[in-house]
């Protein structure tokens, strides 16, 4: 295959991944690595490098809008980013000792877990910060806009959230994903932040988490410019179109379809990893 043909194929695949990622809110990163490795035969290390760069692009692009609208809790984000960046740097060290096959297996498990989470029923929390708790001392409580008014909310179980963010950081570096699912779980389930605040703050944190490991991988030679170029431009174009289409599209059936795709990709990654084909 010529570089030109490969570039065009990758561009189209990345565009679809970015489009569906933005429409479903599940993020494109989690399907990019399987797309590149299973679909186009790219070495998993190059795929992880390219995917991390895309994750920074889409999260920064989306965060720009969410931050202005006042959903994102920048204090919660900033504090928990200590855990995700330390986790990411440790993840880059762990990556040296993990074979490509093992990475594929871990990837498959995380994909299955993400698919399961996407089908979960959502419960909206409004927590109250306990006086004297870590959340109170860190002044994490804030407000968010809902139906035209500002709603106050508190934060609970900060240490548990912090620990989960550490895991999210390791997974992000190891697999080249944003780990949005684990981040949302930490804030929504453990810290009881409102769902919209959890998703936007997770998105806000993803860029910083991915940048921590992308720097290391750049030095290790995982980031190939000729591969990154169509992947990042395709994903950005897809995400931009997706954001514009969002108001006119039935998200629920699309989410269902995307979840099925994730399960199929997960099984294929598990199979390829367990049989040492990757």
CB of residue 8 vs other proteins: minimum separation in angstroms?
Answer: 10
82 binds other proteins (CB under 8 A): yes
212 binds other proteins (CB under 8 A): yes
Q: Cα(132)–Cα(138) distance, rounded to whole angstroms?
A: 10
User: Is residue 169 within 8 Å of residue 179, measured between CB atoms?
Assistant: yes
SS3 82: helix
CB closer to other proteins, 120 vs 277: 277
- C-beta pairs of 61-65 under 8 Å, 24+ apart in sequence: 61/236, 61/239, 61/240, 62/22, 62/203, 62/239, 62/243, 63/200, 63/203, 63/204, 63/207, 65/243
SS3 143: strand
CB closer to other proteins, 59 vs 198: 59
CB of residue 227 vs other proteins: minimum separation in angstroms?
Answer: 6
User: Is residue 159 within 8 Å of residue 165, measured between CB atoms?
Assistant: no
142 binds other proteins (CB under 8 A): yes
Q: Cα(133)–Cα(110) distance, rounded to whole angstroms?
A: 32
Phi and psi at residue 191, in whole multiples of 5°? -90, -5
Q: Tell me which of 28, 31, 81, 259 binds other proteins, using CB under 8 A.
A: 81
146 binds other proteins (CB under 8 A): no
Q: How many residues bind other proteins (CB under 8 A)?
A: 67
CB closer to other proteins, 86 vs 106: 86
Using CB under 8 A, list all residues that contact other proteins: 1-7, 40-43, 45-46, 53, 56-57, 60-61, 63-65, 67-68, 70, 72, 74-75, 78-79, 81-82, 85-86, 89, 92-93, 138-139, 141-143, 152, 207-208, 210-216, 218-230, 232-233, 236
């Amino acid at each position: 295959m010529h570089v030109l043909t490969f570039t065009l194929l990758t561009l189209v695949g990345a565009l679809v991944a970015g489009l569906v990622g933005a429409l479903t809110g599940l993020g494109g990163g989690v399907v990019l690595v399987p797309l590149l490795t299973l679909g186009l035969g790219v070495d998993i290390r190059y795929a992880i490098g390219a995917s991390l760069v895309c994750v920074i692009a889409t999260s920064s692009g989306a965060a720009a809008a969410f931050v202005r609208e006042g959903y994102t809790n920048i204090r919660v984000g900033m504090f928990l980013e200590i855990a995700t960046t330390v986790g990411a740097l440790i993840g880059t060290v762990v990556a040296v000792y993990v074979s490509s096959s093992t990475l594929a297996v871990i990837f498959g498990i995380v994909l299955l877990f993400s698919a399961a989470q996407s089908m979960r029923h959502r419960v909206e929390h409004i927590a109250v910060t306990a006086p004297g708790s870590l959340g109170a001392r860190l002044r994490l409580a804030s407000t968010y806009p809902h139906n035209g008014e500002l709603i106050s909310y508190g934060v609970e179980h900060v240490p548990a959230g912090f620990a989960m963010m550490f895991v999210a950081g390791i997974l992000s570096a190891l697999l080249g994903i944003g780990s949005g699912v684990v981040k949302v779980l930490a804030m929504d389930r453990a810290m009881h932040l409102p769902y919209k605040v959890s998703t936007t703050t997770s998105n806000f944190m993803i860029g910083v988490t991915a940048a921590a490991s992308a720097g290391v991988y750049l030095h290790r030679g995982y980031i190939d410019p000729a591969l990154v170029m169509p992947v990042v431009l395709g994903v950005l174009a897809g995400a931009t179109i997706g954001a514009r289409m969002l108001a006119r599209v039935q998200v629920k059936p699309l989410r269902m379809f995307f979840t099925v795709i994730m399960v199929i990709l997960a099984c294929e990654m598990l199979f390829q990893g367990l049989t040492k084909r990757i």
